Structure 1
Amino acid sequence: MVIHYKCPNCGDDMSFDSESGKLTCLSCGRQDAIENFSDEFITTTFEENETKEYHCENCGAVLLTDADTVATTCSFCGAGVVIAERVSGTLAPSLVIPFSINKDEAVAAFKKWCKNGLVTPNDFMTADRIKKLTGMYVPFWMYDLNSRVRVSGSGTKVREYTSGDYIYTETSYYRIFRDINLDYMKVPVDASEKMEDGLMDKLEPYKYDQLKTFKTPYLAGYLAEKYNYDDKALLPRAKTKIQSFIDSYIHSTVSGYATFIPEQKEIESKKMKSYYVLLPIWMVTYHYRGKDYIFAMNGQTGKVVGKPPISRAKVAGWFGGIAAITLLIFRLVTFFMGGGLI
């Protein structure tokens, strides 16, 4: 079953508008609040690796999708469609963060980001070389985790004082024990095998207070995929992601000590709850000097991640400038120490 949103007024295609947050018809301007839509999906299933054929209800053209596609656009008429059976049952997301940055804003934000590169070639943005810009919802699992942390170790406190003509340093040694209970809410882990984990991690954070109950109209006009890994498979990654925060919290509890050496540490993290969510991302393919560069942009905050080309001339200039400044400082220090200018 293909879900396709038609305007009740003029019959044209409707899509999600990131500015108003409503399902919008670009022809007549009609807007409908997404909260008013009722999601009544059929619950048919399909094989995991199945490539399936659908038909666009707008023009009748064939829509050939892979097994992961949840939402797409018709390559003939451009209509945004949602594959209903892939957002139903166990494949139904519970939450979504809608796009808040539209296509034009994404292009402008990307160009601004490129121009800020200190060692990016000057001609990198002198022409419109954006080859492809795709707005897509990437599947994530979010976890509410509880961590019980038991730590023991040794610490010192140092006190310096003066008595008569002498300065004394007193070092006191302590045994330190900590029994900590920590909750981490909505820890995100991307669930798509097509997306690079490191790239997705760098796009964080999102504004999770803007999570909304999932409705299919949010997907209209964008691409979307279903998850490849369930919440059990990705739970170890979620636990790994909070490790640095746990370590930081442990150290914050011993900030009054001059030194702290942990000798034994036990961490038991458990899942309290998991959520299947869709998060918005703009994928940018940029062509420069015969090579394509891939960038990703947070569709809510505009944060861009990726590796632009590097200008060798600028890098050489930076190192040359640093070397010149270092040499000047060395000569000035030598002069003021009585060595004279070299």
Structure 2
Amino acid sequence: MIIHYKCPNCGDDMAFDSVSGNLSCASCGRNDSIEEFSDDYIINTFSEDEAKEYECNNCGAAVITDADTSATSCSFCGAGVVLADRVSGSLAPDLVLPFQISKEQAMDAFKKWCKNGRLTPDGFMTADRIKNITGMYVPFWLYDLHSVAEVRAKATKVRSYTRGDYVYTETKYYDVERKIDLTFQKVPVDASKKMNDELMDKLEPYDFGKLKDFKTAYLAGYLAEKYNYDNKDLLPRVKSKVSSYINKYVSSTINGYSSVKYVDQNINTRERKAYYVLLPVWMVYYDFDKQEHTFAMNGVTGKVVGKPPLSKKKIAAWWGSIAAISFIGMKILSFAIGGELL
């Protein structure tokens, strides 16, 4: 099933506009609220099963997708389409975080980010080799979690004091126990096998206060993927993700001691609720030095992540300047305490 959103004025295709938050027609400029858009102007084409080939309602051309795509565009006429059978039933997202940054704004933000790379080659900093920039809704699970941490530790307090001609060291030993309840809300984990987990993690944080109930209209004009892993598959990963925060919090409650040695530590984390959501990501493909570099941008905040190329000359110059400053500093210190400044 393919969905096209047709303009009631001129019949051209409409797409989600990140600036206005509405469905927008590029031909006549009409804007419609997604909440109020009439179903009369949604055109559907049905398929019997989840095929990899659909038919474009605009021009009749075949829309070829892989099995994970849920929104794309016709390669012939450019119409944005949503494959509705891939966002319905068990594949229907609970929520969507709409794009807040337009393609033009994303392009400008990426160029600005490139120019701030002090250790990147000069040719990269010009940001004039952007091969493609694609708006994509990436499938995530958001978890509400409840954790109970039970900890037992041995701790010491050590103090030294002088009495007469003798220096005494006093050591006191303590048994420390903690039982802590912690709750986490909307912890994100990407559910696409195509996306790099580390890259997706670095895009955080997202403003989840702007989440909307899912409607297919938000996907119009963008690419979208359906999830490959369900919430049960990713539960071990989200537990691992919050474990470092739990350990830090437990440690913050055991202070004032000279030493702490953990004897037993038991952390039990349970899922309270999981939401299937689509989060906005601009994927930027940059062609530099005969290689394609991939970067990701948070579609709400404009945060860019990825590994840019580094200039060996700039790195060498940077380390040289640090060494020179350190050398001068040592000479000044030597002179200040009675040495000679050579």
TM-score category, normalised to shorter length: over 0.9
Find the counterpart in structure 2 of residue 272 from structure 1: 272
State whether residues 149 and 180 of structure 2, in contact with CA within 8 Å, keep that contact through their aligned partners in structure 1.
yes
Q: Deviations over 1:38-74 (max 9, x none)?
A: 8899997746xxx521111111111011110100011
**Matched ranges for 1:66-81 at <5 A:** 66-81=66-81
Supply the distance in 1 between the matched residues of 2:132 and 2:234 (Cα, whole angstroms): 30
Question: Corresponding residue for 2:218?
Answer: 218
Q: Given residue 202 of structure 1, which amino acid in structure 2 is its aligned partner? A: K
The match for 1:310 is: 310
Distance apart, 1:134 and its partner CA: 0.4
Moved more, 324-333 or 241-250: 324-333
State how far apart, in whole Å, the 2-side matches of 1:64 and 1:320 are: 54
Cα displacement (A) at 1:10 = 1.3
**Residue 110 (structure 1) aligns with:** 110
Deviates more, 1:159-168 or 1:317-326: 159-168
Distance 1:96 1:108, change over 3 A: same
Question: SS at the partner of 1:111?
Answer: helix
Partner of 2:149: 149
Contact residue 37 and residue 215 of structure 1 kept, 8 A: no
| Cα distance in 1 between the residues matched to 2:157 and 2:102 | 55
> Contact 1:151/1:266 (CA < 8 Å) preserved in 2?
yes
Does 58-67 or 233-242 show the bigger shift? Answer: 58-67
Counterpart Cα distance in 2 of 1:286 and 1:68 = 24
Deviations 1:219-276 (A, max 9, x none): 0000001001111111100100000110011012113434322210011111111111
Counterpart contact for 2:45–2:55, Cα < 8 Å: no
Q: Which moved more, 1:245-254 or 1:169-178?
A: 169-178
| Matches for 1:78-117 after TM superposition, within 5 Å | 78-117=78-117
How far did residue 305 of structure 1 move?
0.5
Q: Are the aligned partners of 1:295 and 1:304 in contact in 2 as well (CA < 8 Å)?
A: yes
Partner of 1:172: 172
Q: Which residue of the partner structure matches residue 64 of structure 2?
A: 64
CA root-mean-square deviation: 2.3
In structure 1, the residue matched to 2:189 is: 189
Change over 3 Å in CA distance of 1:46–1:265 after alignment to 2: farther
| Distance change (3 Å), C-alpha of 1:167 and 1:22 | farther
Question: 2:135 touches 2:280 (CA, 8 Å); kept in 1?
Answer: yes
Rounded to whole Å, the distance in 2 between the matches of 1:44 and 1:58 is 16
- State the distance in 2 between where 1:255 and 1:139 align: 41
Who is 1:11 aligned against? 11
Encode CA deviations 1:127-179: one digit per residue, 9 max, x unaligned. 62100100000001111111111001022345677878988765432211111
Secondary structure of 1:324's counterpart equals helix
Note the C-alpha offset of 1:27. Answer: 2.0
Shift in alpha-carbon separation, 1:43–1:273, aligned structure 2, 3 A? farther
Match of residue 227 from structure 1: 227
Checking the alignment, whether the CA contact within 8 Å between 1:43 and 1:88 is kept in structure 2 is no
- CA shift, 1:333, in A, is 2.1
The amino acid of 1:137's aligned partner reads Y
Q: Is the 8 A contact 1:45 1:85 kept in 2?
A: no
Contact 1:150/1:265 (CA < 8 Å) preserved in 2? yes
Shift of residue 87, structure 1, vs aligned partner: 0.5
Q: Judge conservation of contact 1:42–1:84 (CA < 8 Å) in 2.
A: no
Scaled by the length of structure 1, what TM-score is found? 0.93
Q: Percent identity?
A: 62
CA distance in 1, matches of 2:203, 2:11: 37
Could you tell me which residue of structure 2 aligns to residue 209 of structure 1?
A: 209
TM-score where L is the length of structure 2: 0.93
Change (3 A) 1:90 1:332: same
Which shows bigger deviation, 58-67 or 332-341? 332-341
Deviation of 1:203 after TM superposition, in Å, equals 0.7
Residue equivalent to 1:247: 247
Offset at 1:110? 0.5
Q: Is the 8 A contact 1:43 1:89 kept in 2?
A: no
Cα pair distance change 1:27/1:313, threshold 3 Å:
same
- The 3 A distance-change label for structure 1 pair 253 and 21 is same
Farther off after superposition, 19-28 or 129-138 = 19-28
Partner of 2:327: 327
